[in-house]
Amino acid sequence: MSTFSENSRDTASSSPIPTVLLVDDDITHRTAIAFDFQRKGFRILVAESGNEAWRIVQSEKVNLVVADIRMANGNGIELLNRIREKYPAFPPVILITAYTELGLDGAKDWGAEAVFHKPFDRKALLLASKTAIASQGF
């Protein structure tokens, strides 16, 4: 597990800071999205596979998972299934993909909050993420 720390700032405050787990095997994509979330004040954890992300979910308090679908060593659908099996309602999961094999209805059937197809508007991803996290009381 690693925490995104480029341009890191002190996160100590009186209010809780939501934690987002970003899972993508493409380091460039992962870094860009992590930067966006960190700029908006989120605590970011990163993983490059579904299996690595699953270990993090079991050991860390995560308020949102944003996961690519196609990855080696555990894809996003497998991760989503594992999360929903153990934690039926939380954390919310948003899927991202470069392929069109999964639409919003299919993603919701699997238990995801949303699906974004690459390339996507990162501001729209942040808005969907904030909405999903707000549903937990943040």
Domain residue ranges of the chain, discontinuous segments joined by +? 2-7+16-134
Query: Containing H/E element for 32?
Result: helix 27-39
Please give, one letter per residue, the 3-state secondary structure of 63-102.
Answer: CEEEEECCCCCCCHHHHHHHHHHHCCCCCCEEEEECCCCC
For the whole prediction, is pTM greater than 0.75? yes
Residue 108 has pLDDT above 90, yes or no: no
Dump pLDDT digits (tens) for 56-94: 999 999 999 999 999 999 889 899 999 999 988 788 999
Residue 4 has pLDDT above 50, yes or no: no
Supply the pLDDT for residue 12.
42
Correct CATH for 2-7+16-134 of 3.40.50.2300, 3.40.50.10540, 3.10.580.10, 3.30.70.940: 3.40.50.2300
